[in-house]
């Protein structure tokens, strides 16, 4: 059992770490405070080819393995988790188009998505349906040579930049079970009736936009149906979310690592009662707990990623990694704030942003409570975990 990154993966890690230190850290606090979109950072990510992480090489992408994907998202999130969102849902959507799209769909979209001249995301959640995707109400009625789409979506990252945007719809609202009537349509920007209504205000995860959408009699051609066959949308989405959970878990590791690094540095600098606070047992216990949880979470993420790379089913593993890593990120952010004392509550210190960013990973890509039921269902069905 090899717990080491390959030479290629280490080179990728070092490259992304250097990029983060040089181009993300120096501007993160200012841009995050302003709520400004990091256009310059996005342009540099295009130059690095990061928009093509999940795009096959024949379409100009990196075809990165899942461990490499985890490394990229961890390193970027150490600098600013919000920036990772720009390529997060983009990568998930690219993976889904590459795996399930028709050849004309792959040829039309993937080369430009890999180059970053197009971007994408994924539109699943609705005002009345989040964890229960089978409860969505957006419909796509077959009309003539295409579909007429009506509905709403919310909490959609990259909505203002996505072209195309994969949208989960019901092509047969009467189907039972409901998932048998669900499909994904690739809707291009500028299509009449497709409107981004507003950007949602957020506690953290600033940088990329998170929006509400309205689809009012949006006409899309029949060849916009992902894969060309109706009724497979939920299956396509759930498979993509397995990779998405690895991505979110890796972001959580980045936040946790940064929280630990900030606490360790500060504890070695701050003095109280005539000595460094790192010499106080109470602080030492926090640092030790943070380090143990962090490394355990990272190994769990790499385990899930390695299972996916081996072509094995990884819904259980990615769910476990996402739940544990996100809760470690939240715990480390709080512990780091406590090590910093009053300064940890100040916007002049990085830990305050980490404290606001960490909760997203607990909620996003499937809430942890829902994922616990998914994990339990896998275990009680006899699937078990690797021995």
CA distances from 154 to 87, 92, 158, 213 (A): 19, 18, 12, 6
Token code pair at residue 73: 């998202």
Phi-psi map region of 335: left, alpha, beta (phi>0 left; psi -120 to 50 alpha):
alpha
User: Is 269 labeled as catalytic in the residue annotation?
Assistant: no
According to DSSP, the residues that pair with 185 across neighbouring strands are 167, 225
N-to-C CA span, the chain: 12
According to DSSP, the residues that pair with 169 across neighbouring strands are 183
* Residue 118 φ then ψ, to 5°: -115, 150
**Contact, 193 vs 217, CB < 8 A?**
yes
Residue of 269, 327, 365, 387 marked catalytic: 365
| H or E segment to which residue 283 belongs | helix 281-309
**Contact, 124 vs 153, CB < 8 A?**
yes
- Residue-wise over 185-205: b if at least 16 C-beta within 10 A, else e? bbbbbebeebebeeeeebebb
Token code pair at residue 265: 């540095």
**Contact, 166 vs 122, CB < 8 A?**
yes
Catalytic residues: 365
């Amino acid at each position: 059992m090899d717990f080491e990154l390959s030479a290629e993966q280490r080179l990728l890690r070092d490259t992304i770490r250097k990029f983060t230190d040089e181009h993300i850290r120096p501007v993160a606090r200012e841009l995050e405070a302003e709520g400004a979109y990091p256009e310059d950072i996005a342009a540099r990510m295009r130059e690095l080819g990061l928009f093509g992480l999940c795009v096959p090489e024949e379409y100009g992408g990196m075809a990165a393995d899942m461990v490499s994907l985890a490394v990229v998202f961890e390193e970027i999130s150490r600098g600013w988790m919000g920036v990772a969102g720009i390529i997060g849902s983009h990568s998930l959507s690219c993976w889904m188009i590459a795996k399930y799209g028709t050849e004309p769909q792959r040829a039309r979209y993937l080369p430009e998505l890999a180059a970053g001249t197009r971007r994408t995301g994924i539109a699943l959640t609705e005002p009345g349906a989040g964890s229960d995707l089978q409860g969505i109400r957006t419909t796509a009625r077959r009309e003539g040579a295409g579909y007429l789409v009506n509905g709403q979506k919310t909490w959609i990252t990259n909505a203002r930049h996505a072209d195309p945007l994969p949208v989960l719809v019901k092509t047969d609202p009467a189907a039972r079970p409901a998932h048998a009537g669900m499909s994904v349509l690739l809707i291009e920007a500028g299509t009449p009736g497709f409107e981004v209504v507003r950007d949602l205000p957020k506690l953290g995860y600033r940088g990329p936009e998170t929006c509400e959408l309205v689809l009012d009699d949006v006409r899309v051609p029949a060849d916009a149906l992902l894969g060309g066959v109706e009724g497979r949308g939920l299956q396509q989405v759930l498979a993509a979310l397995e990779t998405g959970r690895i991505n979110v878990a890796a972001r959580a590791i980045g936040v946790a690592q940064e929280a630990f690094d900030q606490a360790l540095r500060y504890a070695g600098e701050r003095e109280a009662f005539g000595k460094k606070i790192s010499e106080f047992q109470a602080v030492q216990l926090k640092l030790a707990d943070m380090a143990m949880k962090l490394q355990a979470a990272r190994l769990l993420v790499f385990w899930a990623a390695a299972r996916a790379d081996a072509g094995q089913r990884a819904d259980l593993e990615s769910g476990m990694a996402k739940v544990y890593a996100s809760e470690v990120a939240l715990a480390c952010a709080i512990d780091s704030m406590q090590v910093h004392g009053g300064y940890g509550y100040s916007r002049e210190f990085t830990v305050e942003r980490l404290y606001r960013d960490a909760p997203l990973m607990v909620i996003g890509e499937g809430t942890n409570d829902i994922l616990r039921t998914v994990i339990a269902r896998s275990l009680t069905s006899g699937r078990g975990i690797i021995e």
